[in-house]
Amino acid sequence: MGAGISTLFYTPNNASQTGITEWDVSFLNPSIPSTPPVARGLIILNQPFSRNLLDILWNACSWHCCADGGANRLFDLLQDDHRCSYVPNVIKGDLDSLRADVQDYYTSKGVPVVRDHDQNSTDLMKCVQSIQEKEKLENREYEIIILGGLSGRLDQTVHTLSYLHKLRRTRKKVFVVTDDNIAWVLDEGRHRIRIDHDILGPTCGLLPVGVESTILTTTGLRWNLTEAESSLDGLVSTSNHLVPEEKFVTVNTSRPIWWCAELCRKD
């Protein structure tokens, strides 16, 4: 955790001229078109996910990558007559989890299967490297959406928390999505999150992971904070609620903090 702590204060690299970073997760709502279109890349990890969530995120992204065993998840979720509509741009990792039948199928579809032996990087890190290479060629930055990464093995979840905490220094927007929730890192500074109550809520949280403590002020929540110190040794705002009448949540934080919100169940 210590490597992720910084004593420097700076303007977040994705802050607007007003000094407020705007966040919008309307890509989770298929009925709302992206205007203007946003370049997004999807990274599928080796964790369970629903067909409904896959459809939403796949269609929201123009580039798709499977991290090793994530290709198994994609393959197994789809029937034969649907697989051809969900062909990733690349499969990358150390390939210790990728099944032979899955590799053969996607190779037959022209998908590059890239083995990276670097033991100092995880499959997630390898996939982010692939999108960074794409960005250099196109001279533009993609929003990254990671499907999975917050469930299953605890060590992998902590890695996701740690890695995105570090990525905030160099990337504007990286989201982690599961069937239960969406989460991302709010860098130090002021943030305004647009709330679509059709897809988010009711519960949410602000998690001081990767820092010793932070000072939080919020609006738009059922239980707001005013200059409150938050830390794992003290106050942690879990099980907070979004307010149906509020269209925005604002967060002012002195240090980076994780924001998470529950996804509405569509029964």
pLDDT at 81: 83
CB burial of residue 110 (10 Å; 0-12, 13-18, 19+) = exposed
- Measured distance CA(98)–CA(3) in Å, rounded: 32
For 183-266, give the CATH class: mainly beta
Other CB atoms closer than 10 Å to residue 147's CB: what's the count?
A: 26
Residue range 169-200, pLDDT digits in tens: 999 999 999 999 999 999 999 999 999 999 99
Residue range 205-216, pLDDT digits in tens: 999 999 999 999
Label residue 267 by pLDDT band (50, 70, 90): low
pLDDT at 181: 96
Q: Is the pLDDT of residue 156 over 80?
A: yes
pLDDT at 75: 97
- The dotted CATH code for 38-179 is 3.40.50.10240
pLDDT at 34: 66
The whole-number average pLDDT for the span 155-177 is 95
Return the amino acid letter for 27. Answer: F
Residue range 22-48, pLDDT digits in tens: 999 999 998 887 667 889 999 999 999
Q: Angle, to 10 degrees, between the axis of helix 100-108 and the axis of helix 70-77?
A: 80
- Kindly provide the b/e burial profile for residues 191-226, where b requires at least 16 CB atoms within 10 angstroms of the residue's own CB: bbbebbeebbbeebbbbbbbbeebebebebbeebbe
Residue range 115-136, pLDDT digits in tens: 998 888 999 999 999 999 999 9
Structural domain spans, the chain? 38-179, 183-266
